[in-house]
Structure 1
Amino acid sequence: PALRRIVTSRFIMTIGFIMALLFLTDHAFSQVPGNGEVQDSVDIPLKIRTGIDITGPAIWFTDKSILNAEAYISADLNEKFALFLGAGHSDYSYSHYNYDYLSKGSFFKAGIDFNLFKPEVAAGKYWAGIGIRYGISSFLSETPSFTHENYWGTTSTAIGSSRILGHFIEISPGFRAELFKNFSIGWSVNLRKLISPGQKKDLRPLWLPGYGQGESVSAGAAYYISWNIPFKKIRVGIKKEEPEEYTDEEDYGESRDNTNYRSIGESSTGTRLR
């Protein structure tokens, strides 16, 4: 029940953040100017970004059993790709009717982001794409108390603290928009696959920092704010749409159709005159 309340509260908070963000980003796009001129290239500012995920602290205010704090830095390689580095801390506690569980530690992520927007749309301000990361979770796992009841009575024991190193991969589709000069907000949906829990299958930890519940797959969402530092400008060509070309047979067919149409029209006119 406690774990279910945690998941439910995270889901509600996430939906609220995403709805607010969609409203703000829609307003941001409505402010994009357009001069109607056709350009063959555009200047794109490359930036270094540093930001924080505010979802974790927001959830902590409603549920003190879990605290996640995460920050990241990314650097544009070109108009499409950016390097990503992230790190954070997690403190998790869970109580069940017959046991208590504690997990506390740090996590690190490294990967690359890909922007699906065309350069003339992104303009160095907007990003809609997908990120791929490799994650490492280093944490202490402990079961301070465990009670087991059977025919012979009740047995109480504990599992001491142990250092665990888990590995996972993460795919993060999302969106980011620059609301003010060098200040952006964004969101992402985080889909994770556990590579190694750091322990045997029967002793899999309940919670891995940066990953979530110790199942084979995990999902989450993040709402973040970031500060952007431009460091370079590049000029990127814009692909022009090729005008539609017709083959000789198509041209001949259209010409013949037009001739027939005119002939029919002239014949009809002559008939009416007579």
Structure 2
Amino acid sequence: MKKKRTLIYTILLGSSLLLCPLHTKAQGQKPAATDEKEEIPFYQGTSVGVDIAGIGSKLLGSDITSAEVSVEVNLKNRFMPVVEIGYGQTDTTDDETNIHYKAAAPYFRIGMNYNVMFKKPHLPGFVAVGLRYGFTSFSYDVDALDMVDPTWGNITVPFAYNGVKTNVSWVEAMVGFRTRVYKSFSMGWSVRYRARISMKKTENTEPWYIPGFGKNNSTNIGLTYNLIYKLPF
């Protein structure tokens, strides 16, 4: 499963790097540099993006799938407030422990991107760094084979918890790349470092997967690959 997910990320990353030089070549002669003293309008447009990395990983056999839409506002070609709303789910059984886990829920993130190449608005793309705050509230099911306690006369102890409620919050630091491919259409990818802030725990169990965050660890690494459309206003 891990090898398959690594494969799709490699393919998506490679495609963006290949398209970048092709697009640059198609631009022809480089336009004259913009006068740095020229005032850049405050509002530079709104873009809507769809992340296809989560859907693609499921097609390649991953136990986890997600769908996500983002809305980003460009201010001065420098500051870019962004909201990301998605839905993540899993339904899987561990081959070694036979523990079955199921969860599905929406999640959201809110944050800001910063265009480190804001002084070069004539370029077809940019590199950005950013921060996010993420949150999800969901319930999950976890069950396994019944356990036998030999101390008390081989008593069978069931292991099944359904509808366990929890909520999780986290922060993300990201670095991303974007390039225009055709008119108002762009594509881009980002690498996310996620750190869990809080998680509501129960006495007997905790979630294996957290929608929008990934597998339940104190930290996590994620990747997004977005198809982006700049709205015509």
* TM-score of the alignment, normalized to the shorter chain, above 0.5: yes
Instruction: State the superposition RMSD in angstroms.
Output: 2.3
- Partner SS, residue 119 of structure 1: coil
Query: TM-score, normalization: structure 1?
Result: 0.75
Higher gyration radius (CA): 1
Q: Distance in 1 between matches of 2:176 and 2:98?
A: 40
Distance 2:56 2:117 in 1: 30
Quick one: which amino acid aligns to residue 140 of structure 2? S
- Structure showing the higher helix proportion among its residues: 1
In the alignment, the residues of structure 1 paired with residue 51 and residue 204 of structure 2 have an alpha-carbon distance, to the nearest angstrom, of: 33
Deviates more, 1:20-29 or 1:76-85: 20-29
Taking the aligned partners of 1:125 and 1:35, their CA distance within structure 2 comes to 11
Match of 2:129 in 1: 130
- Which residues of structure 2 form unaligned runs of 5+? none
Total equivalences in the alignment: 225
Contact 1:197 1:205 in 2 (8 A): no
Give the letter for the 2:73 counterpart.
A
Q: Which residue of 2 aligns with 1:148?
A: 147
Query: Is 2:30 aligned against 1:34?
Result: yes
Q: Name the counterpart of 2:16.
A: 21
The residue type equivalent to 1:19 in the other structure is G
Q: CA deviation at 1:191?
A: 0.9
| 1:139–1:163 CA contact under 8 A, matched in 2 | yes
Supply the distance in 1 between the matched residues of 2:211 and 2:34 (Cα, whole angstroms): 49
2:100/2:142 contact within 8 Å kept:
yes
Show the counterpart of 2:190. Answer: 188
Describe the superposition over 1:182-226 as per-residue Cα deviations: whole angstroms up to 9, x where unpaired.
100000001100011221597331110000011000011111101
TM-score by length of 2: 0.87
* Structure number with higher strand proportion: 2
What are the within-5 Å matches in structure 2 for residues 1-274 of structure 1? 5=1, 7-32=2-27, 33-36=29-32, 39-41=35-37, 46-63=44-61, 65-96=63-94, 97-120=97-120, 122-123=121-122, 125-151=124-150, 152=154, 154-199=156-201, 203-229=205-231, 231=233
- For residues 64-97 of structure 1, the C-alpha deviation after alignment (integer angstroms, 9 at most, x for no partner) is 6322111100001222101100010011122123
Kept after mapping to 2: 8 A contact 1:49/1:229: yes
> Which runs of 5 or more residues in structure 1 are unaligned?
232-274
